[in-house]
Amino acid sequence: MSLFQRLKGYFSREKPPPMSIEGLRAIFKARYHAFKLLLAANNTALQLMTDMEAALQGTHSFGMTFIRSHATAICVNVYSIIKYLNELGGGKYQALEPVFSGIEKKIDEVLKRRELPPIQDLVLPLSQVHREMADGVGSKMANLGEIKARLPELLVPDGFVITAAAYEQFLTYNFLHDEINRRLQALEVEDIGDLYRLSSEIQMLIIGGEMPPPLMEAVFRAYCELEDRASPGVRVALRSSAIGEDTAETSFAGQYRSELNVCRENILTVYKEILASKYALTAVSYRLHKGLRDEDVAMCVGCMEMVEAAAGGVMYSRDPTDIRRDQVLINAVHGLPKTVVNGSVNPDLWVVSRGETPAVIRKEIQDKKQKAVCLPREGTVMENDDRGREPAITDDQAMALARLALALEEHFQAPQDVEWCLDEDGRILILQSRPLKQLAPARREDAAAETGDRPALLRGGDTASLGVAAGPVFLVKTNLDLLQFPEGAVLVTAFAHPGWATLLSRAAAVVTDRGGITGHLANVAREFGIPALFNTGDATQRLSPGEVVTVDADGQAVYGGRVEELLGLAVARRGLMVGTPVHETLKEVMTLINPLNLTNPDRPDFKPQKCRTLHDITRFAHEMAVKEMFAFDKQPA
């Protein structure tokens, strides 16, 4: 065919009929609808990114549910953006899909990352445990094994550990991993009623689970070996030793269950109850507000020979409220030390100097109205303490305890929080040793100048946690009060119950009638940076519900109203989430979501293959969508 014929054929072709106005309107309407949906998805994705960026500041508590739900919602909206852009562009932006899939896969890998237990043994005798095994047996039992192995002059009750591998086997055997995760996904962090319901449901799932036969056999074998070393029918104490518990920043003080004086027949039942206590209301709340991933906290359990304690308590190798004081603090009671840690009794206090020859600097003997003792067959009971006004220990025993505290501090190279007891033969046994968080007091030259002539509503008590704060008084007496406690209130209660720790993320300060500074609630208050004044005697009688007060824990006083001179000295709380595992996970996920690398649409690298984050995809898609929408006349019908 000649050139002339080809040209003639081209110009003589029949042109397609022009599209009707109605057809054009229909196409434009469909494209405009896709454009609007794209913009809506874009705005939603950007708002979710902003929410996650704000969470990075660490000033508000959030859990893995927040990260997973926001990351999922962003991915859903970005996928919609790609879909609507391809509708606008006639499918020419399909190169975005593999880029998106690659980023989504990386996010999913971060969110599903999970460490397997490093120790595969289901049960280990305490004699084989040391501090390097904390990831398999928990810090509590790892430290006790370390003391038993490396500090033979210190006595530790004999026993064994049911490991993290056993916990994993129990959950797998009962198909609980996915079910627990599903329930946690729906958790509203700020809704304590929702938290309470979730806590009860998950605990019942665990308690109702069956023991895997291999685990059951391993536990009873270890118990029989303990019987051989101790005595037939030996009763034991089962104590939580969760991964992450008993560290300097996350003590989990009093948040998990322990059970004393347990007989052989009930070991497995109590074991399941301790596993379930991982999801107790206070424990779930604590993890959320300390930024700990649920999947990182395996519950190990220590099973130790029960000691008939003549006296017991807790000691700090240094003063936790003032790093400048060179002294050991010892709280002691008659009977089992549980009344010290649960705050139900005002314990005796010994202040002992540090050094090669410790000396008693000061002692305060309290009226200890009750004590905890072992029942003949199983369990413990509170009974009246007929010798309550007498010292729980002697000066010589206090100095011996101080020497042990210093030995533990030297070995672990950090101040220690030590639970101890005296057996009926007067021997000191170490029940727990964990790092002690210390604080530096604020510089206050003249407290009188700060408060002027203002009379105090209450003076005295013990500084359990430093600080100054103000808020309305709220009396907490029962668990029902947990559901009604308002944000920013001052928690006033009869004794320093560990269960009240779930309120510390919302409380301005804590004031109690009874309780020692070495108890569980005091520990958690220091971790959260909440001012706490314990052992005031009658705060619940002197402070009226709803009354606004200023709590000066440093100065051991409570004033009516807001004392701005004192509040001006308050140290701003560091974001509790910063540096926590959950916060670190958010930071890692955000590297795949938020950075914007595609900023200039005129550059040659402004194309799908150069998108490295979800934000890049939204930026590229938005720019292209605008071009496609306003290039309607160039689009094929």
Supply the residues annotated as catalytic: 520
**Beta partners for residue 423, in sequence order:** 309
- From 455, 394, 405, select the one nearest 430 (Cα to Cα): 405
String of DSSP letters for 320-344? TT-TT--EEEEEEEEB-THHHHTT-
How far apart are alpha carbons 164 and 186 in whole angstroms? Answer: 26
Token code pair at residue 286: 């604590």
* CB-CB contact of 398 with 352 (8 Å): yes
Q: φ, ψ for residue 432 (rounded to 5)?
A: -170, 145
User: How distant, in Å, are the alpha carbons of 154, 329, 331, 456, 479 from that of 400?
Assistant: 11, 13, 14, 40, 40
Helix (H, G, I), strand (E, B) or coil at 512: strand
- DSSP strand pairing (532-534 vs 509-514): parallel
**Rounded Cα distance, 173 and 556, in Å:** 52
Q: Which residues pair with 560 in a beta bridge?
A: 549
Check the CA dihedral 590-592-595-601 and report its sign.
negative
Please give the Cα distance from 224 to 230 (Å, whole number): 10
Q: Is the dihedral of CA 317, 321, 323, 324 positive or negative?
A: negative
Which residues, at least 6 apart from 484, have a Cβ–Cβ distance to it below 8 Å? none
Instruction: Locate 541 and state its tokens.
Output: 């009688």
Identify whether the C-beta of residue 551 lies closer than 8 Å to the C-beta of residue 563: no
Of 202, 225, 246, the residue nearest 305 (C-alpha): 225
* Token pair in block for residue 377: 């067959």
Cα distance between residue 372 and residue 82, in whole Å: 66
Do 384 and 370 form a contact (C-beta atoms < 8 A)? yes
Give the side-chain half-sphere CA count within 13 A for 425.
4
Q: How far apart are alpha carbons 194 and 289 in whole angstroms?
A: 16
Q: What's the rounded Cα separation, in Å, for the pair 460 and 515?
A: 13
